[in-house]
Amino acid sequence: MKLYTFFRGSSPFRLRIALNLKGLAYESIPVHLGKNAHHRPEFGAINPQQLVPALVLDDGQVLTQSLAIMEYLEEKYPRPPLLPPDATGRARVRALALLVACEIHPLNNKRTLDYLRSGLRREEAQVMDWYRHWIADGLAKLEAMLAGTPGTAEFSHGDSPTMADCCMVPQVFNAQRYQCDTAPYPTVMRVFGECMRLDAFDRARPEKQPDAE
């Protein structure tokens, strides 16, 4: 399998964790978002959405959208599972993953921040206020979902990592990179700490990727 990735991108980071947890080998193909490599026609031919990640299967089929790819991996390589066995548990894990993927990340990704700068002509201080506003809003929601809930244990759901953790960890990396205060989210940060003790999460870190700068 070939993974079109970018070391700093949050969505490819999710998928690197999932691939590592499943013990699946893949070839990294870097797409430099900072240099707009995702807008080149060669990449558009692979993913018309011009977004990373994209996973190319050995038969040449291309999968896109990190959560859809994780579901595919879960179906094809069920061990170790990244979803719990019960339907309401799976619904909870997917909701936690989607809370990050739909309510936080889209507001803070590169193209959104770029449009605040160029389209709305906002100064950098306002762009950073925007960034931190949505991190605070989203991580508070995540903390409320995790804290004091029976499903939460060593990890976001139960005692082994799930898709929820694959999505949460890259988001916390982003929060730390932009000096957001994470003190109000003690459950999120405790689970983050548990995740980062695992080799599968550690090897997926941005600075350990071949394209890291």
Give the footprint of a second copy on this chain (CB under 8 A). Answer: 44, 48-51, 57, 61, 63-65, 67-69, 71-72, 75-76, 87-88, 90-92, 94-95, 97-99, 101-103, 105-107, 111-112, 115-116, 119-120, 122, 126, 129-130, 133, 137, 141, 144-145
Q: How far is the CB of 208 from a second copy (least distance, A)?
A: 26
Alpha-carbon span 89 to 87, nearest angstrom:
5
Q: How far is the CB of 20 from a second copy (least distance, A)?
A: 20
One-character DSSP codes across 142-175: HHHHHTT-TT-SSSSSTTS--HHHHHHHHHHHHH
The answer to whether 8 touches 52, Cβ cutoff 8 Å, is no
- 25 or 87: CB nearest a second copy: 87
Alpha-carbon span 106 to 125, nearest angstrom:
19
Q: How far is the CB of 202 from a second copy (least distance, A)?
A: 26
- According to the 3-state scheme, what is the secondary structure of 114-132? HHHHHCCCCCHHHHHHHHH
- 95 or 212: CB nearest a second copy: 95
Whats the size of the chain, residue-wise? Answer: 213
Q: How far is the CB of 131 from a second copy (least distance, A)?
A: 12
